[in-house]
Amino acid sequence: MTLFRRKAKHLQTGDAAEQRALAHLEHQGLSLVERNFRCKLGELDLVMRDGEALVIVEVRFRKSEHFGGALASVTPQKQARIVAATQHYVIIKRLNALAVRFDVVALAGDGQIQWIKNAFQT
């Protein structure tokens, strides 16, 4: 009898991408507030602080650019879910006084990391 199930490969890949993105952002001076916040409105991959700003980071990984790459996968619908989840997060954590910024960290199959500050607005 097994007590633990292995994560699916795509989930393991996503976790590894988030860990790489987190390490990159911490190296740039940001600090982690919360990871993988989930609510009925959506999920926030990384919630970080950059000085007095709350930074919501969407982490995207794509092996290739064949279907548009990681950045192209952050559609307007995905952005709307991130914004809605962020509004909920800010209310329940009582962080209304902080400025909020939405960043995207795109990781490519060749190891490149691209950090886009202010990737989209509310």
Give 16-63 pLDDT, tens digit per residue: 899 999 999 999 999 999 999 999 999 999 999 999 999 999 999 876
pLDDT the model gives residue 23: 98
Q: Residue 84 above 90 pLDDT?
A: yes
Q: Residue 120 above 70 pLDDT?
A: yes
CATH fit for domain 9-120, picks 3.40.1350.10, 3.30.43.10, 3.30.70.270, 1.10.260.40: 3.40.1350.10
Report field, pTM of the whole predicted structure over 0.95: no
* Cα separation values, 92 from 7, 31, 108, 116, Å: 30, 20, 34, 27
Whether the CB-CB separation of 57 and 46 falls below 8 Å is answered with: yes
pLDDT the model gives residue 62: 73
The three-class DSSP label of residue 86 is: helix
- Angle at alpha carbon of residue 84, lines to 78 and 88, rounded to 5°: 145
Task: For the chain, give every domain's residue range.
Answer: 9-120
Q: State the burial class of residue 31 (Cβ atoms within 10 Å of its Cβ: 0-12, 13-18, 19+).
A: exposed
